[in-house]
Amino acid sequence: MLSCRGLCAGYGSVQVLHDLAIEVEEGEIVALLGANGAGKTTLLRTLSGLHRPSAGAIRFDGTALDGVAAEARVRRGLAHVPEGRRVFPGLTVRENLAVATSAWRRGRARIDGDLDRVFALFPRLRERAAQLAWSLSGGEQQMLAIGRALMSRPRMLLLDEPSLGLAPLLAEEVYARIRDINRGSLTVLVVEQNTVLALDVARRAYVLENGRIVLAGAAAELSRDPRVRDAYLGA
């Protein structure tokens, strides 16, 4: 469903991503692991069109994404949940979800139907529909950020560190919902520093170091790999 080849990106004269190649098959959850500064966020932003690569090719659902703007990628079914959630603090939960569709000029009935689907997945968001987003807990804001991405009816989600700043139980809850979303046929590429959680839900994983893929394979195998255990699992 998503692939990139020879992907290079950076900031000014600093190259961050070096000749990256990754693939995500339809229906998979794939994890992208790596320490701070490895380039994970830069890769997701490059895939979603928020950052321009200096070289390489990205394909999504059979077509090339070169020159395709970020909003057009969303319309094609590729949605991005950014690091740090970035919900609109002064809007209510319902408004945060609705703004994601306003640019599409959908009919009221369709928007209500999409809201219902998100609320069914995250019942706590329904209970807090009229609450301002700043007053939500970190876990609820993460669910809102994921819900907002789902409003665009994506086929694939790019998730940037969904466990960041969450207490362990909340992080597990967020990952349980990611699993539910995937069962509902959504493909997921998740960037994560919480290696245990990510390898638990993912089918395959890549490990990024200094902007290069240094390991790739089945998640179950990687979780037993001494290099992953020593560097990322604190074993």
Residue type, 192: E
Phi, psi of 83 (to 5 degrees): -60, 140
In the numeric block, the tokens 């086929």 are attached to 155
Residue 152 or 211 with smaller CB distance to ligand ATP: 211
Residue 44 or 65 with smaller CB distance to ligand ATP: 44
CB of 18 to ligand ATP, least distance (A): 12
d(CA 58, CA 46): 9
Residues shown for the chain: 235
d(CA 235, CA 226): 8
d(CA 176, CA 169): 11
Residue 97 or 145 with smaller CB distance to ligand ATP: 145
Residue 18 or 153 with smaller CB distance to ligand ATP: 18
- Binding residues for ligand ATP, rule: CB under 6 A, are 11, 16, 34, 36-42, 83, 193
CB of 129 to ligand ATP, least distance (A): 31
CB of 158 to ligand ATP, least distance (A): 12
CB of 214 to ligand ATP, least distance (A): 13
Residue 131 or 193 with smaller CB distance to ligand ATP: 193
In the numeric block, the tokens 């000749």 are attached to 19
Residue 141 or 152 with smaller CB distance to ligand ATP: 141
CB of 194 to ligand ATP, least distance (A): 11
In the numeric block, the tokens 């609820």 are attached to 140
- Specify whether the CB–CB gap between 64 and 58 falls below 8 A: yes
Phi, psi of 127 (to 5 degrees): -60, -30
CB of 124 to ligand ATP, least distance (A): 27
Residue type, 134: W
Residue spans of beta strands (DSSP E) within 27-144: 29-33, 55-60, 63-64, 78-81
What are residue 3's DSSP bridge partners?
23, 59
